[in-house]
Chains A and B, each alone.
Chain A
Amino acid sequence: MKIRATAAIMECLLEQEVDTVFGYPGGTILNLYDELYNYKDKIQHILTSHEQGASHAADGYARSTGKVGVCFATSGPGATNLVTGIATAYMDSSPIVFITCNVTEQTLGKDAFQEVDITGIAMPITKATYLVRDAQTIPDVMRQAFAVAATGRPGPVVIDFLKNVTFPNVEIDYEFVPWTENRKCGSLQSLAGSHDLKAPEPNIEDIDTLVGMIAQSERPLLICGGGVVRGRADAEFRTFAEKLDAPVAITVMGGGGFPGGHPLTTGMIGMHGSQASNVACNECDLLIAVGCRFSDRVALKPDSFASQARIVHIDIDRSEIDKNVLTDHHIIGSARRVLESLNERLPQYSHPDWKEKILPLREPSVPRQSEQLTPKQVLETIRKLAPQDTIVATDVGQHQMWSIQHFHFDYPGQLLTSGGFGTMGFGLGAAIGAKVGNPDKLVLHTTGDGCFRMNCHELATVEHYRLPIITVVFNNGTLGMVRQWQHLIYHERYSETTLDRGPDFVKLAEAYGLKGFRVTTMAEMENAFQAALKAGRGCVIDCVLDMDEMVRPMVAGGAHITDFLLK
C-alpha cells in the first residue's frame, strides 16, 4: 500500500503502541507536525517550553512506565537542546526514541539555516543514530530504532529525517506490522538472525558456579542497581535476597528495585551511603551486584572496594564486567532471567550473626540542631501526608540525596533521578512525563533553588496540561552540594555558590497560574502540603532552609568506602 512518508512515520509509532510524544516544532519538522495534526486523536503531543524539558519529560515517561519514550524536535538548536537530555538518558539506560528533522538533501552539509550534524553529535551518547535520506527506509529504521532502544541494555536512539524525506508528495510502500512481528522483517531479521529468533538464556554453568559460591559464603551482601529497576526484576530480586537472608545495599539508580523499608535493606551505598551499607561492603566475603556498574560514586576507590570479598557481577551488558572493579565471577543476562534461574536453585539460607552485625548500623545520622526548618522535617511531613506509592522526581544535589535517603521506594519507576549524568533541571520535565504516563498517581518533584531555576519555565507546561504536580523547593539560597564540598574540602571558600538573588518562587508560581506557598516552619509545611494535595493543580512549595545544612554521611571521592568525612 502506498502512503505518505510522514503518515508512515506516524503509523510506525502506532505499531509500537505509542500514544504520547513530547516535543517542540520548528522549520524542518513542520511536515511531521502537519501529519501529527491528522493523528491527533491517536497520538497525544505534549508541547513543552524548551526542547530540554521535552527530552526529560520523555525520559520521565519512559522510566516511570517502562515503555519507550518519544521526543520530537526540529533541526539545529532544537536538536542540540536535546543533547543534555539524550546524555542523561544514556547514562541511566533509559529507552527513548528521539526524532529530529534536518535540512534538505540539496542543502545538507552547506551550513544551511538551522543545520547541525545531530547524528554525529549524538553518536557518543546514544545506542545508535540513524540519518534517513531515503523515504523508503522509514519503516525499517523506525522498527529497528525502537527495538534497539528497548532491548538488551535499554538506551536512547536518534533518528534524523532529512526534510525532503518528509515532503507531503513523498509516498512509500507500507504495511502495518505490529511490534511483536517487527523482528521478522527488514534489518531486524538479519540482526536477529544469529539468535534463532529466541531471547538468549543466561549460561547455566555460570549460574551453578554462583550457587556454589553462595553456599560457601558466611557474610554475603547484595547490591541492587539500576538494572533491577530497568529490567523490572524487583519481585525476583526480593525473593533472591530473602532466600539468601543477606543485607541489601541500594544504589541511587537502584531505588525502587528493592523495598526501601524491607528488614534486609541497609539503604544507599557509596559517597552518601549509610554506615550499614558501606561497612557491610567493606566486611562482606561475597558481594553480588545486580545491574550496577560500580560507578565512582559507589566504588569510590576501586582497588580497596570490597577487598575481603569475592565479587560477582550480574549484568546484561558484558562491557561493564571488569570495567571499574575487577570481579571474580560474572553472569550475563537480564536481571529477571538470571535471578529466576538462581532462585530455582537456591535453598533457604540464614545469616543471623552477619545481619546482627550490620543491620543495627542503619540508624540514621543525627542531623545538626537548628532553629530553622530542616530538610528532614520537610521530608517527614511529606512522607506522612503523601500516599506511599507517590512517584518522586528529583533534581540533583543535596535535596536529591535527602529525598533518596528519607523516602522508601517500593517499585521500579517510583524514583526518577539523574543518577549517572547528574543533570540539574531534570526533575520538573521528568515529573511532567511521569504524570502524563501515570495520571492516577501523585507525582512529587523535589528540587533545590539552583536546579529549579534551570528549567522552571516548564511550569507553563504543568499549568497548561493541568498536571497536579507538587514541586517542593529546598531553598537554602545556595548551591548546597557544591557549598558542602567547599566547606569540607575547600576551606570554606564559597566561590560563586551563594544564590542571593531572585526570583520569588511563590510569585513565579503565581505568574504561571499555579499556587505558590512559602514555608519556614514544620506547621506551615504541613498546612501547605495539605493544601497542595487538595488543590488539584500544580503547586510550588518554597521551603526556606539554612544554607549550612549538609548531606550526611559523606565519604570523599576517591576515599576508602568506610573513611567517613561526615557521619
Chain B
Amino acid sequence: MKREFDTQKKEYTLSILVQDIPGVLSQVARLFSRKGYNIESIVSGETDKPNVTRITIVLLADELMIDQIAAQCRKLIPVLAVKILDEGTSIQREFSLIKVCAADRNARDEVIQMANIFRAKIIDVSRETLTVAIFGDKEKTAALTGMLADFGILEIAKTGTIAIERGRSTIYDDNKLKEEYNYGKNVL
C-alpha cells in the first residue's frame, strides 16, 4: 500500500543526534534552506555521551515535507539518529529572558506579581527595569509575554524549543528505519 501523508501544515519538532564535528550544524541547517523551508527555532546542545550533540529543530511543514527533510538528515554521515516528535508523544519546553520597563514601585510590584503567577523568576533588577526568566512551553511564555507587554518590553532572548519523548522510549532505540539508513551510509 502506498503511504498516505497528512497535507495539513503544522508545527513539527525534529530531534537530531549528531557527532560533534566542525560544520555539522551548518550541514543540517543547509537541508532546510535548500528546500526553502523556514526554521522556527533551532537549538544545539551536548548530551550525556561524549562528542554527541542533540539538535532540536521546530518548523512549520506538512507530513511529506517533514518526512523528506528527516530522510535527507538521516543520510548525513555525522547524523546518528533522527526522530520526528509531536506534542502528543513528547514534552516541549523553552526558556526566555524578558527585560521589562519598571521605573516605579507600582510597576515593579505588578511585574513581580505577574511573574509569580506564572512561576517565573526575577533574575535582574535595576532602577528602571526588571528581567524575568520564564521556563515552560510555548503557550505559557506567550501568555506571560502578552501580560508584560503592558509595561513595555525592552528586549527578549529565547532558547527555542527543546523536546524529549514521554515514557521509556528514547532517540537511541533501534528500529528498522534506522537500520535501513545505516545501510546507505555503511562504511564497511
Contacts and interface: CB of A to CB of B under 8 A. Distances in A.
A333 B183 contact: yes
Given A127-B77, A318-B74, A151 B188 contact: yes
Interface residues of B, number: 28
A183 B184 contact: no
Contacts of A200: 179, 182-183, 186
Interface string A59-100: 000000000000000000000000000000000000000000
Given A148-B187, A192-B187, A332-B180, A319 B72 contact: yes
B176 A203 contact: yes
Nearest to B71: A319
B75 interface: yes
Contacts of A195: 182, 186, 188
B41 interface: no
Interface string B157-188: 00000000000000000001101111111111
B74 to A, nearest CB: 7
Contacts of A144: 187
A131 B34 CA distance: 23
B1 interface: yes
B2 A319 contact: no
B3 A151 contact: no
A119 B185 CA distance: 20
B23 A119 contact: yes
Output the residue of B74, B77, B177, B183 with the most chain A CB within 10 A.
B183
B71 A152 contact: no
B188 A318 contact: no
Interface string B1-34: 1110000000000000000001100110010001
A128 B181 CA distance: 16
B68 interface: yes
B87 interface: no
Interface in A144-160: 144, 147-148, 151-153
Interface in A350-386: none
A501 interface: no
B184 A332 contact: yes
Contacts of B110: none
A42 interface: no
Contacts of A128: 77
Interface string B123-163: 00000000000000000000000000000000000000000
Contacts of A152: 183-187
A123 B30 contact: yes
B109 interface: no
Contact of A198 (B23, B27, B183, B188): B188
B71 A323 contact: yes
Nearest to A203: B176
A79 to B, nearest CB: 16
Contacts of A319: 71-72, 74-75, 181, 184
A318 B71 contact: yes
Interface string B41-75: 00000000000000000000000000110011011
A240 to B, nearest CB: 19
B67 A316 contact: no
A108 interface: no
Contacts of B34: 124
Which among A120, A144, A198, A332 has the greatest number of chain B C-beta atoms within 10 A? Answer: A332
A124 B180 contact: no
Nearest to A198: B188
Contacts of A316: 183-184
A18 interface: no
A318 B180 contact: yes
A151 B186 contact: yes
Contacts of A198: 188
A231 to B, nearest CB: 12
A148 B176 CA distance: 22
A546 interface: no
Contacts of B187: 144, 147-148, 151-152, 183, 188, 191-192
Contacts of B26: 120, 123
B3 A194 contact: no
A322 B67 CA distance: 9
Interface string A92-128: 0000000000000000000000000001100110011
Contacts of B181: 318-319
A123 B184 contact: no
A199 interface: yes
A147 B22 CA distance: 20
B2 A318 contact: no
B71 A148 contact: no
A323 B64 CA distance: 9
B184 A318 contact: yes
Contacts of A191: 77, 187
A129 B2 CA distance: 36
Nearest to B1: A328
Interface of B: 1-3, 22-23, 26-27, 30, 34, 67-68, 71-72, 74-75, 77, 176-177, 179-188
17 contacts: A123-B30, A124-B34, A127-B185, A144-B187, A151-B186, A151-B187, A152-B187, A153-B185, A192-B186, A197-B188, A203-B176, A319-B71, A319-B74, A321-B71, A332-B183, A332-B184, A334-B183
Interface of A: 119-120, 123-124, 127-129, 131, 144, 147-148, 151-153, 183, 188, 191-192, 194-195, 197-200, 203, 311, 316-319, 321-323, 326-328, 332-334
